[in-house]
Amino acid sequence: MGDFMRLRNVKNKEEIMNNSNYLVKNYYDYKGKWRELFNNDNPIYIEIGMGKGKFIIENAVMYPDINFIGIEKYDSVIAKGLQKIPEGLNNLVMIRADALDIDNIFSKDDKDPFLKRLIEFILIFLILGLKIDIICVDCLVEYS
């Protein structure tokens, strides 16, 4: 068998998610406007299927001049990640969403041709009914 993350229920996950400044609940509002959220023109890196956040949090700490957006679909997993973020880290946000919803999170018409191809690729997998998180786990995509 492959490596699978064991999902354990986090009893207070809703409270953690509701009280975190790092979770973007209204992410649809930022489609095409993510720089406004970060209030700077730094490049934006995206991690799809960020799990408990170890990789993206470490990178956000190491690279303060890059903005990071982590996407995770499981409440218990993102709650664990939110608890790990050091206080005062202002270049990282997390989104509780399915990667297959990426075209509603980022704009296909954006100026970045790589992001546009990534969104189209994910949508093709959705149409074909293939499991996308196998493809995109721990991938970082520059969005600038």
- Those residues whose C-beta lies under 8 Å from the C-beta of residue 6, and which sit 6 or more positions away, are none
Report if residue 8 sits inside a domain: no
Q: Over the stretch 41-92, which tens digit does the pLDDT of each residue have? A: 888 888 888 888 999 999 999 999 988 899 998 999 999 999 999 999 999 9
pLDDT at 63: 92
Q: What is the CATH number of the domain that holds 39?
A: 3.40.50.150
Q: Is the pLDDT of residue 21 over 60?
A: yes
- 120 vs 79: which has the higher pLDDT: 79
Number of domains in the chain: 1
Q: Is the pLDDT of residue 121 over 90?
A: no
The range of the structural domain enclosing residue 38 comes to: 13-24+33-143
Percent of the chain with pLDDT over 70: 69
Report if residue 6 sits inside a domain: no
- Those residues whose C-beta lies under 8 Å from the C-beta of residue 79, and which sit 6 or more positions away, are 10, 12, 13, 16, 17
